[in-house]
Structure 1
């Protein structure tokens, strides 16, 4: 590693503790801070969404009893909604539709400044942020995130949501602040300009864990929680949008914390192929910019 790369690495580590920090000095609008969680006031906000273990056991038994019936219903549903199934895989129309769960968003394919998802809901998983806006996702993505977190918990892993939906204006302030503080070359490695952020779609959520003090750092990918997320997120329709070694394709450094919802049809395809979303679309003959 040469001196320039070393300096960049140090800078990225330093700013990782403030990724989602306030764009202004107003503490009311501050994002997650690198602070000790040693007292109740500063502990992560944990939503009361977990079901009673007894209820879960009952629900599990009921689901097991209905397995054959559910399979039959799913088969019938698949026959009836073949067109809808096809729409869950990328095509020229839905890839460029900013309201689609398959919309491609990067520096080359941007969102309209006025775009706001119509079906945003408050997430129902443990979170660490006091900003109501970033504790939202689109309904389908939020439901999938709840299932992902529940499954992680059942397997002994504890995840926390850090930042979901961000408006165009909020992202603009965030990015401009990073540029002023660290210069555009460094800022571009870990933050997106307004319109180029997947967070504006309401389909992206940054996650973390206690082991990395609820921060957004690449070492999260080496924790037990991070490894589980990498290996299982696709089962719930999420992908690690900015995987290791693909920064020359995605334009962003490795972000094991950044989950993007695309639905299970595509998430399995991407997970098994090892391709980024851009690479996958190029292989499908869809000429998206990056």
Structure 2
């Protein structure tokens, strides 16, 4: 092989190696940043915006009550969530979409009553798939809000995703710090059926990450699936 051609091949191999090293360095940097972000978040304290509450992770205090609650269109939410929901609903309205708040903060007693009612109507196994037991509900944190259309169409039903409010929320809620907490196809992870109306406030940075990656809170935090109690 001519010497010039050998030199060319060596140069090309060197470029490929440099590009590969650069990519590996970038990938490692991204992984470290993601790991650092996860480490900064508090997934345990009920006062944390990133708290993970599910069937295997009950609230540390079963009778937990947020220190402060504000009105958010007729329901109560933590101040951060209430302010963000006000912005969300106002911008949706400006886009011609009416979004209403159906349910927000619930006391432990309220949640127990709802779960007992579902159990009586549908049986315990079905109730556990559509309603959290007391002490295991995100609504008790004051960070979850169930939303609906102004006309009440498809209220608290899977078909909500096809309505104006459902479609707008799915596309835009993360910009205000909310995520659809129980997405389609994630029941074996979250433990709950698909609820396109159930928004959970986690802050804009984490919401953007979850929206972009399609991860649930459990997956992002590195927790095991919580399909059952």
| TM-score, structure 1 as length reference | 0.63
Cα distance, 1:224 vs structure 2: 2.2
1:26-37 matches, cutoff 5 A: none
The 2-side partners of 1:93 and 1:232 are apart by 23
The 2-side partners of 1:196 and 1:289 are apart by 15
Cα distance, 1:194 vs structure 2: 0.4
Structure 1 residue aligned with 2:109: 169
> Residues 237, 141 of structure 1: CA spacing in aligned structure 2 closer, same or farther, 3 A cutoff?
same
Cα distance, 1:281 vs structure 2: 1.1
Deviations 1:240-277 (A, max 9, x none): 00001111111111100000000001000000001111
Structure 1 residue aligned with 2:25: none
Q: Which has the larger radius of gyration?
A: 2
Q: Does structure 2 conserve the Cα–Cα contact (< 8 Å) formed by 1:211 and 1:223?
A: no
1:118-137 matches, cutoff 5 A: 118-123=67-72, 125=73, 127=74, 135-137=75-77
Unpaired stretches in structure 2, ≥5 consecutive residues: 1-33
Deviations 1:24-65 (A, max 9, x none): xxxxxxxxxxxxxxxxxxxxxxxxxxxxxxxxxxxxxxxxxx
The 2-side partners of 1:204 and 1:180 are apart by 25
Structure 2 residue aligned with 1:99: 47
**Secondary structure of residue in 2 paired with 1:242:** coil
The 2-side partners of 1:93 and 1:152 are apart by 29
Q: How many residues align?
A: 191
Task: Indicate whether 1:239 and 2:179 are aligned.
Answer: yes
Deviations 1:193-249 (A, max 9, x none): 001110000000000004543721111101122111001000000000000111111
Which 4+ stretches in 1 moved above 4 angstroms? none
The 1-side partners of 2:154 and 2:82 are apart by 20
Task: Indicate whether 1:113 and 2:53 are aligned.
Answer: no
Task: Indicate whether 1:274 and 2:222 are aligned.
Answer: no
| TM-score, structure 2 as length reference | 0.79
Cα distance, 1:94 vs structure 2: 1.2
> Residues 142, 181 of structure 1: CA spacing in aligned structure 2 closer, same or farther, 3 A cutoff?
same
The 2-side partners of 1:194 and 1:92 are apart by 28
Q: Does structure 2 conserve the Cα–Cα contact (< 8 Å) formed by 1:114 and 1:168?
A: yes
Structure 2 residue aligned with 1:218: 158
Output the aligned Cα RMSD: 1.9
Q: 2:99 aligns with which of 159, 167, 171?
A: 159
Q: Does structure 1 conserve the Cα–Cα contact (< 8 Å) formed by 2:153 and 2:160?
A: no
Structure 2 residue aligned with 1:66: none
The 1-side partners of 2:43 and 2:77 are apart by 19
